Amino acid sequence: MTSGGMDCHVACALHNEATGLAYSANPDIRFQASPMPNFTRMTDRSEPRRAGLLLALCLAAVSASAADIAEPSVRELHTADCIAALELKSEDLARQVKAGQTEQRPVLQTALDAAAAFIGQAYLQGDRDQDRLENLKNSALQAQKTLSPTELATRQANCAQEGARLLSQADVLSRFVISRLAARQMKKLVGD
Tens-digit pLDDT profile for residues 42-95: 455 555 555 555 555 545 554 554 455 689 999 999 999 999 999 999 999 999
Residue 115, exposed/middle/buried by CB under 10 A (0-12, 13-18, 19+)? buried
What pLDDT shows up at residue 112?
96
What pLDDT shows up at residue 10?
44
Q: Which of 166, 151, 155 is nearest to 84 (CA)?
A: 155
Q: Which of 97, 147, 140, 96 is nearest to 115 (CA)?
A: 140
* CA dist., res. 156 & res. 18, Å (int): 68
Asked whether residue 135 carries a pLDDT value surpassing 70, the answer given is yes
At residue 71, the 3 state secondary structure works out as: coil
Tens-digit pLDDT profile for residues 155-185: 999 999 999 999 999 999 999 999 999 999 9
Tens-digit pLDDT profile for residues 23-40: 444 445 444 444 544 444
* CA dist., res. 144 & res. 84, Å (int): 8
Q: Which of 88, 119, 140 is nearest to 184 (CA)?
A: 119
Give, rounded to a whole angstrom, the gap between the first and last alpha carbons of the chain: 73
DSSP 45: T
pTM over 0.95: no
